[in-house]
């Protein structure tokens, strides 16, 4: 099975006649907001897996600095590279200035070329040479032209400080770059989801299904799948909960949520009495404002790092009465996956009623005929013919027993 290349579905509304600006301003604001909402579907999670949530008015910005390592890793590449170059450049310039300052205070710059004078650093005669010596010291290049002497205790102390601080800077910045390079975010680009989800019958049950696939030959280890329904709700007490998250069972009880993702798989959510789609019909679904977020997690086989891929389906991307086209075929000695058909679906005969109505109709068809007729008559307050026959037979048997008893008494007398 193959993965879906996320495609944005645009809902086009019929164009309304253009009104003058004053007339448009007179339209009530709630009506304007409702029209905008119809024209554009607002996603919680985009098709490419990025969360469509922006954090604003964060006053405690110092919290980002307390975890500076994660902050640097989360930055965009251009800012990360800029900070990487800036930190090293500032460090080299600072210690270069310190080496030049020591030479200036000791008077080394005034005794350039004097063989009787022992400088702190040999061949350090300007700020440029001090800057080069700083780079050589921190990067341990050691060309051998400029070297510290044993007659400069302050220089020896500065050398120790720069060596230790340089090691810390190297560990921090190189570690930051390594973590950013090895992040498994790009691995999620080869984990694909079907463009649409479908609802159809499977094993006589109404099910919601979507397809996932892995384009790489190196597999995801311990892969698992989750699904959540994002839909605003109002409680019985009148509290409004925006974007309420409801778990959708995709095989947690049976272990079907743990995947062996070698070929594309169809993930199935059975619509039963515990499902949030239990009372939703085909007609009702078209007017629902909901979103299904699917999350695929697992470890990258090559690196052992955890990878997560996400996608979502809004109501217009849930196709009622369709199934996925098979993509796996048996060739000569191997199985072949046709990713050209990964997103393809075909129409199938599916009831348009809700799963609840379907279950009730199925239950009625399975009831015994005599029981259903009797219950129907009792609901209408009419006598049941079978019950009347049983009562008459019982009365006749009682009368016969009474006659037999009277005959026995007369014979005794």
**Cα gap 233→246, rounded to integer Å:** 11
pLDDT score of 374 more than 70: no
Q: Do the Cβ atoms of 208 and 318 come closer than 8 Å? A: yes
Domains 75-182 and 187-359 equal at CATH topology level: no
- Higher-confidence residue of 8 and 150: namely 150
Q: Do the Cβ atoms of 148 and 74 come closer than 8 Å? A: no
pLDDT score of 368 more than 90: no
pLDDT the model gives residue 19? 42
For 120-129, what is the mean pLDDT? 90
Domain 187-359 part of CATH 2.70.70.10: no
pLDDT score of 315 more than 80: yes
Which range is least confidently modeled, 157-171, 289-303, 388-402? Answer: 388-402
**Radius of gyration for the alpha carbons in the chain, expressed in angstroms and rounded:** 39
Residue appearing with tokens 């029209």: 35
pLDDT the model gives residue 291? 94
pLDDT score of 246 more than 90: yes
Go through the chain and tell me how many residues it has.
413
Q: Which long-range contacts (C-beta less than 8 Å, at least 24 apart) are formed by 328-331?
A: 328/1, 328/263, 328/264
**Cα gap 270→278, rounded to integer Å:** 9
**Cα gap 1→10, rounded to integer Å:** 26
**Cα gap 283→271, rounded to integer Å:** 16
pLDDT score of 21 more than 80: no
- The pTM assigned to this predicted structure is 0.68
Domain 75-182 fold is Helix Hairpins (1.10.287)
- Higher-confidence residue of 390 and 328: namely 328
From the list 312, 319, 270, 315, the residue with the least C-alpha distance to 294 is 312
Question: What pLDDT, in 10s, does the model give residues 93-110?
Answer: 999 999 999 999 988 888
Question: What pLDDT, in 10s, does the model give residues 317-357?
Answer: 999 999 999 999 998 889 999 999 999 999 999 999 999 99
- Higher-confidence residue of 197 and 116: namely 197
Which range is least confidently modeled, 11-20, 67-76, 151-160, 162-171? Answer: 11-20
pLDDT score of 40 more than 80: no
Decide: helix, strand or coil at residue 45: strand
Confidence of residue 158 (pLDDT cuts 50, 70, 90): very high
pLDDT the model gives residue 22? 40
359 secondary structure, DSSP code: H
For 45-52, what is the mean pLDDT? 89
Confidence of residue 412 (pLDDT cuts 50, 70, 90): very low
pLDDT the model gives residue 11? 39
Q: Do the Cβ atoms of 83 and 92 come closer than 8 Å? A: no
Please report the DSSP string for 272-328 in residue order.
STTSTTTT--HHHHTT---EEEEEEEEEETTT--EEEEEEEEEGGGEEETEEEPP-E
In whole numbers, what is the pLDDT of the chain averaged over residues? 82
- Higher-confidence residue of 362 and 268: namely 268
pLDDT the model gives residue 413? 44
Confidence of residue 2 (pLDDT cuts 50, 70, 90): very low
Which range is least confidently modeled, 15-24, 73-82, 189-198, 290-299? Answer: 15-24
Please report the DSSP string for 115-174 in residue order.
TT---SBTT--SHHHHHHHHHHHHHT---SSS-B-TT-HHHHHHHHHHHHHHHHHHHHHH
Question: What pLDDT, in 10s, does the model give residues 251-266?
Answer: 988 899 999 999 999 9
pLDDT the model gives residue 5? 37
Residue appearing with tokens 């939703």: 280
Which range is least confidently modeled, 19-33, 53-67, 332-346? Answer: 19-33
Please report the DSSP string for 159-223 in residue order.
HHHHHHHHHHHHHHHHHHHHHHHT-TTGGGGGEEE-S-EEEEEETTEEEEEEEEEE-SSSPEEEE
- Spell out the domain ranges in the chain: 75-182, 187-359
Percent above pLDDT 70 for the chain:
79
pLDDT score of 13 more than 50: no
Which range is least confidently modeled, 42-51, 183-192, 232-241? Answer: 183-192
């Amino acid at each position: 099975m193959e993965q879906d290349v996320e495609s944005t579905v645009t809902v086009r509304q019929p164009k309304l006649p253009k009104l003058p600006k004053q007339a448009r301003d007179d339209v009530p604001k709630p009506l304007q907001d409702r029209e905008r909402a119809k024209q554009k579907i607002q996603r919680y999670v985009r098709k490419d897996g990025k969360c469509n949530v922006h954090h604003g008015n964060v006053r405690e910005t110092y919290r980002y600095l307390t975890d500076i390592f994660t902050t640097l890793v989360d930055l965009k590449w251009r800012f990360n590279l800029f900070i990487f170059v800036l930190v090293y450049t500032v460090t080299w310039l600072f210690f270069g200035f310190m080496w030049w300052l020591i030479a200036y205070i000791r008077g080394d710059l005034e005794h350039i070329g004097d063989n009787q004078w022992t400088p702190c650093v040999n061949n350090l005669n300007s700020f440029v040479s001090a800057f080069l010596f700083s780079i050589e010291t921190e990067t341990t290049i050691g060309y051998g032209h400029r070297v510290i002497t044993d007659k400069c205790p302050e220089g020896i102390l500065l050398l120790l400080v720069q060596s230790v601080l340089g090691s810390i800077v190297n560990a921090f910045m190189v570690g930051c770059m390594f973590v950013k390079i090895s992040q498994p975010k790009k691995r999620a680009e080869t984990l694909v989801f079907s463009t649409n989800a479908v609802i159809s019958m499977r094993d006589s049950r109404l099910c919601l299904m979507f397809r996932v696939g892995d384009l790489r030959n190196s597999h995801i280890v311990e892969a698992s799948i989750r699904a959540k329904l994002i839909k605003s709700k109002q409680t019985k007490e009148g509290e409004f909960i925006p974007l309420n998250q409801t778990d959708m069972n995709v095989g947690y009880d049976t272990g079907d949520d743990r995947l062996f993702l070698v070929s594309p798989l169809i993930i199935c959510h059975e619509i039963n009495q515990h499902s949030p789609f239990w009372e939703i019909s085909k007609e009702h679904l078209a007017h629902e404002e909901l979103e299904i977020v699917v999350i695929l997690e697992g470890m990258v086989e090559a690196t052992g790092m955890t990878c997560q891929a996400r996608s979502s389906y809004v109501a217009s991307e849930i196709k009622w009465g369709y199934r996925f086209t098979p993509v796996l075929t048996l060739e000569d000695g191997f199985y072949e996956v046709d990713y050209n058909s990964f997103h393809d679906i075909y129409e199938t005969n599916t009831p348009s009623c809700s799963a609840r109505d379907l279950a009730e109709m199925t239950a009625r068809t399975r009831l015994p005929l005599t029981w259903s007729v009797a219950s129907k008559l009792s609901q209408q307050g009419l006598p049941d013919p079978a019950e009347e026959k049983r009562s008459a037979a019982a009365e006749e048997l009682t009368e016969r027993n009474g006659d037999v008893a009277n005959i026995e008494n007369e014979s005794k007398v």
